[in-house]
Structure 1
Amino acid sequence: MAANDTCCTLVPYFKVAPGKMAEFKALCDTFVARTRTEPGCVHYAFSFSGDEAHCREGYDDAAAVLAHLDNVGATLQEALKIAQITKLEVHAPAAQIEKLKAPLAALNPQWFTVELGFRR
Protein backbone atom coordinates (compact mmCIF):
# COMPACT_ATOMS: atom_id res chain seq x y z
CA MET A 1 0.00 0.00 0.00
CA ALA A 2 1.32 3.43 -0.88
CA ALA A 3 2.28 5.45 2.18
CA ASN A 4 0.01 8.31 1.11
CA ASP A 5 -3.07 6.13 0.49
CA THR A 6 -5.86 7.49 2.68
CA CYS A 7 -8.83 6.00 0.80
CA CYS A 8 -11.75 4.90 3.01
CA THR A 9 -14.56 2.63 1.87
CA LEU A 10 -17.90 2.23 3.63
CA VAL A 11 -19.81 -1.00 3.01
CA PRO A 12 -23.36 -0.77 4.42
CA TYR A 13 -26.11 -3.32 3.81
CA PHE A 14 -29.76 -2.47 4.41
CA LYS A 15 -32.81 -4.72 4.86
CA VAL A 16 -35.85 -2.80 3.65
CA ALA A 17 -39.21 -3.30 5.34
CA PRO A 18 -41.86 -5.18 3.32
CA GLY A 19 -43.64 -2.94 0.85
CA LYS A 20 -41.19 -0.06 1.36
CA MET A 21 -38.67 -0.60 -1.44
CA ALA A 22 -40.09 2.12 -3.71
CA GLU A 23 -39.93 4.59 -0.82
CA PHE A 24 -36.39 3.46 0.02
CA LYS A 25 -35.27 3.86 -3.61
CA ALA A 26 -36.69 7.39 -3.63
CA LEU A 27 -34.48 8.12 -0.62
CA CYS A 28 -31.56 6.58 -2.52
CA ASP A 29 -32.12 9.20 -5.23
CA THR A 30 -31.79 11.84 -2.51
CA PHE A 31 -28.62 10.22 -1.14
CA VAL A 32 -27.07 10.21 -4.62
CA ALA A 33 -28.04 13.82 -5.35
CA ARG A 34 -26.64 15.05 -2.04
CA THR A 35 -23.46 12.99 -2.31
CA ARG A 36 -22.77 14.10 -5.90
CA THR A 37 -21.77 17.54 -4.53
CA GLU A 38 -19.13 16.15 -2.14
CA PRO A 39 -15.60 16.79 -3.43
CA GLY A 40 -14.12 13.97 -1.30
CA CYS A 41 -16.37 11.22 -2.67
CA VAL A 42 -14.60 8.89 -5.11
CA HIS A 43 -17.55 6.64 -5.97
CA TYR A 44 -21.11 6.16 -4.76
CA ALA A 45 -23.86 3.82 -5.98
CA PHE A 46 -26.73 1.67 -4.73
CA SER A 47 -27.39 -1.93 -5.74
CA PHE A 48 -30.33 -4.15 -4.85
CA SER A 49 -31.15 -7.82 -4.32
CA GLY A 50 -34.70 -8.62 -3.26
CA ASP A 51 -35.42 -6.68 -0.06
CA GLU A 52 -31.75 -5.85 0.49
CA ALA A 53 -29.81 -2.80 -0.62
CA HIS A 54 -26.11 -2.04 -0.61
CA CYS A 55 -24.39 1.31 -0.97
CA ARG A 56 -20.97 1.11 -2.62
CA GLU A 57 -19.11 4.18 -1.45
CA GLY A 58 -15.50 5.39 -1.32
CA TYR A 59 -13.90 8.57 -0.05
CA ASP A 60 -10.54 10.33 -0.22
CA ASP A 61 -10.00 10.04 3.53
CA ALA A 62 -11.66 9.96 6.96
CA ALA A 63 -12.50 13.67 6.82
CA ALA A 64 -14.47 13.07 3.60
CA VAL A 65 -16.35 10.17 5.25
CA LEU A 66 -17.35 12.42 8.15
CA ALA A 67 -18.36 15.23 5.79
CA HIS A 68 -20.53 12.75 3.90
CA LEU A 69 -22.25 11.48 7.03
CA ASP A 70 -22.97 15.06 8.05
CA ASN A 71 -24.31 15.84 4.56
CA VAL A 72 -26.69 12.85 4.41
CA GLY A 73 -27.54 12.55 8.10
CA ALA A 74 -31.17 13.64 7.80
CA THR A 75 -31.74 11.35 4.81
CA LEU A 76 -30.16 8.44 6.66
CA GLN A 77 -32.51 9.00 9.59
CA GLU A 78 -35.47 8.86 7.18
CA ALA A 79 -34.12 5.66 5.59
CA LEU A 80 -33.69 4.01 8.98
CA LYS A 81 -37.44 4.42 9.59
CA ILE A 82 -38.11 1.89 6.80
CA ALA A 83 -34.87 -0.11 6.68
CA GLN A 84 -32.25 -1.36 9.06
CA ILE A 85 -28.50 -1.57 8.59
CA THR A 86 -27.77 -5.30 8.83
CA LYS A 87 -24.03 -4.94 8.34
CA LEU A 88 -21.55 -2.10 8.07
CA GLU A 89 -17.90 -2.52 7.17
CA VAL A 90 -15.26 0.19 7.09
CA HIS A 91 -12.14 -0.49 5.00
CA ALA A 92 -9.29 2.00 5.44
CA PRO A 93 -5.65 2.41 6.42
CA ALA A 94 -5.06 2.25 10.20
CA ALA A 95 -4.45 5.99 10.59
CA GLN A 96 -7.80 6.76 8.92
CA ILE A 97 -9.64 4.14 10.99
CA GLU A 98 -8.42 5.82 14.16
CA LYS A 99 -10.07 9.06 13.00
CA LEU A 100 -13.37 7.23 12.37
CA LYS A 101 -13.68 4.93 15.39
CA ALA A 102 -15.27 7.41 17.80
CA PRO A 103 -17.56 9.18 15.29
CA LEU A 104 -18.85 5.88 13.82
CA ALA A 105 -19.03 3.89 17.08
CA ALA A 106 -22.84 4.14 17.33
CA LEU A 107 -23.16 2.40 13.93
CA ASN A 108 -21.15 -0.57 15.27
CA PRO A 109 -19.09 -1.19 12.13
CA GLN A 110 -16.67 -4.02 11.48
CA TRP A 111 -13.24 -2.48 10.92
CA PHE A 112 -10.95 -3.74 8.14
CA THR A 113 -7.41 -2.34 8.06
CA VAL A 114 -6.02 -1.90 4.56
CA GLU A 115 -2.43 -3.16 4.53
CA LEU A 116 -1.58 -4.35 1.02
CA GLY A 117 -2.32 -3.05 -2.44
CA PHE A 118 -1.97 0.03 -4.60
CA ARG A 119 -3.90 3.03 -5.79
CA ARG A 120 -3.78 4.53 -9.24
Structure 2
Amino acid sequence: MKDTVVSIHPYFKVHPESHDDFKALLPQFIERTKKEADCLYYSFTQHEDIIHCREGYKNAEALLAHTNSVGELIEKALTIAELLRLEIHGPADELAKLKEPLAALPIDYYVLETGFRN
Protein backbone atom coordinates (compact mmCIF):
# COMPACT_ATOMS: atom_id res chain seq x y z
CA MET A 1 0.00 0.00 0.00
CA LYS A 2 1.39 3.38 -1.00
CA ASP A 3 1.49 5.71 1.97
CA THR A 4 -0.10 9.07 1.10
CA VAL A 5 -0.78 10.21 4.68
CA VAL A 6 0.29 13.70 5.68
CA SER A 7 0.31 15.02 9.21
CA ILE A 8 0.43 18.62 10.32
CA HIS A 9 1.85 19.77 13.64
CA PRO A 10 1.09 23.33 14.75
CA TYR A 11 2.41 24.49 18.14
CA PHE A 12 0.67 27.49 19.68
CA LYS A 13 2.05 29.52 22.59
CA VAL A 14 -1.08 30.88 24.22
CA HIS A 15 -1.00 34.38 25.69
CA PRO A 16 -1.32 33.99 29.49
CA GLU A 17 -4.49 36.07 29.75
CA SER A 18 -6.13 34.15 26.89
CA HIS A 19 -5.73 30.54 27.99
CA ASP A 20 -9.45 30.02 28.67
CA ASP A 21 -10.40 31.72 25.40
CA PHE A 22 -8.03 29.50 23.43
CA LYS A 23 -9.29 26.34 25.12
CA ALA A 24 -12.86 27.41 24.30
CA LEU A 25 -11.94 27.23 20.60
CA LEU A 26 -10.85 23.59 20.79
CA PRO A 27 -14.35 22.03 20.74
CA GLN A 28 -15.17 24.21 17.72
CA PHE A 29 -12.10 22.90 15.87
CA ILE A 30 -13.08 19.34 16.75
CA GLU A 31 -16.70 19.70 15.64
CA ARG A 32 -15.71 21.05 12.23
CA THR A 33 -13.00 18.48 11.75
CA LYS A 34 -15.24 15.53 12.71
CA LYS A 35 -17.18 16.14 9.50
CA GLU A 36 -14.07 15.65 7.31
CA ALA A 37 -14.16 12.10 5.92
CA ASP A 38 -10.43 12.03 5.11
CA CYS A 39 -9.20 13.14 8.54
CA LEU A 40 -7.52 10.13 10.16
CA TYR A 41 -6.98 11.60 13.63
CA TYR A 42 -7.31 14.95 15.34
CA SER A 43 -6.55 15.89 18.93
CA PHE A 44 -4.93 18.51 21.12
CA THR A 45 -2.15 18.13 23.66
CA GLN A 46 -0.74 20.66 26.08
CA HIS A 47 2.59 21.35 27.78
CA GLU A 48 2.53 24.39 30.04
CA ASP A 49 1.36 27.33 27.87
CA ILE A 50 1.91 25.49 24.57
CA ILE A 51 -0.97 23.73 22.83
CA HIS A 52 -0.21 21.32 20.02
CA CYS A 53 -2.69 19.90 17.53
CA ARG A 54 -2.02 16.30 16.44
CA GLU A 55 -3.68 15.76 13.09
CA GLY A 56 -3.35 13.39 10.17
CA TYR A 57 -5.03 13.28 6.77
CA LYS A 58 -5.41 10.72 3.98
CA ASN A 59 -3.43 12.92 1.57
CA ALA A 60 -2.47 16.50 0.70
CA GLU A 61 -5.90 17.31 -0.75
CA ALA A 62 -7.55 16.32 2.53
CA LEU A 63 -5.17 18.54 4.49
CA LEU A 64 -5.93 21.49 2.21
CA ALA A 65 -9.68 20.89 2.60
CA HIS A 66 -9.17 20.96 6.36
CA THR A 67 -7.30 24.27 6.29
CA ASN A 68 -10.22 25.76 4.38
CA SER A 69 -12.71 24.31 6.85
CA VAL A 70 -11.03 25.75 9.94
CA GLY A 71 -9.45 28.89 8.47
CA GLU A 72 -11.69 31.27 10.39
CA LEU A 73 -10.94 29.46 13.67
CA ILE A 74 -7.21 29.57 13.00
CA GLU A 75 -7.48 33.33 12.48
CA LYS A 76 -9.20 33.66 15.87
CA ALA A 77 -6.59 31.44 17.53
CA LEU A 78 -3.77 33.59 16.18
CA THR A 79 -5.22 36.69 17.87
CA ILE A 80 -4.71 35.06 21.29
CA ALA A 81 -1.68 32.85 20.64
CA GLU A 82 1.58 32.83 18.73
CA LEU A 83 2.35 30.12 16.20
CA LEU A 84 5.70 28.83 17.50
CA ARG A 85 6.28 26.10 14.98
CA LEU A 86 4.48 24.47 12.09
CA GLU A 87 5.55 21.14 10.60
CA ILE A 88 4.06 18.96 7.91
CA HIS A 89 5.24 15.35 7.56
CA GLY A 90 4.58 13.03 4.63
CA PRO A 91 5.74 11.52 1.35
CA ALA A 92 7.64 13.90 -0.95
CA ASP A 93 5.01 13.81 -3.70
CA GLU A 94 2.23 14.74 -1.25
CA LEU A 95 4.32 17.52 0.33
CA ALA A 96 4.98 18.96 -3.12
CA LYS A 97 1.23 19.50 -3.55
CA LEU A 98 1.16 21.65 -0.41
CA LYS A 99 4.08 24.00 -0.93
CA GLU A 100 2.39 26.43 -3.33
CA PRO A 101 -1.03 26.72 -1.63
CA LEU A 102 0.59 27.04 1.81
CA ALA A 103 3.56 29.20 0.72
CA ALA A 104 2.59 32.07 3.02
CA LEU A 105 3.02 29.92 6.13
CA PRO A 106 6.32 29.27 7.94
CA ILE A 107 6.28 25.49 7.46
CA ASP A 108 9.08 23.00 8.03
CA TYR A 109 8.47 20.04 5.71
CA TYR A 110 9.60 16.58 6.82
CA VAL A 111 9.87 13.96 4.04
CA LEU A 112 8.85 10.40 4.84
CA GLU A 113 11.93 8.20 4.49
CA THR A 114 10.76 4.73 5.52
CA GLY A 115 8.17 2.92 7.57
CA PHE A 116 4.92 1.03 7.22
CA ARG A 117 1.17 1.49 7.53
CA ASN A 118 -1.38 -1.11 8.49
After TM superposition, the score normalised by the length of structure 1 is 0.95
Matched, 1:78 2:73: no
Q: How many equivalent residue pairs? A: 118
Partner in structure 1 of residue 17 of structure 2: 19
CA distance in 2, matches of 1:79, 1:69: 13
What pairs up with 1:23-102 in 2 under 5 angstroms? 23-102=21-100
CA distance in 2, matches of 1:28, 1:76: 10
Structure 1 residue runs without a partner (length 5+):
none
Once superposed, which parts of structure 1, at least 4 consecutive aligned residues long, lie more than 2 Å away? none
CA distance in 1, matches of 2:27, 2:47: 17
Q: How far off is 1:99 after superposition? A: 0.2
Q: How far off is 1:85 after superposition? A: 0.8
The Cα RMSD (Å) is 0.8
Partner in structure 2 of residue 6 of structure 1: 4
Structure 2 residue runs without a partner (length 5+):
none
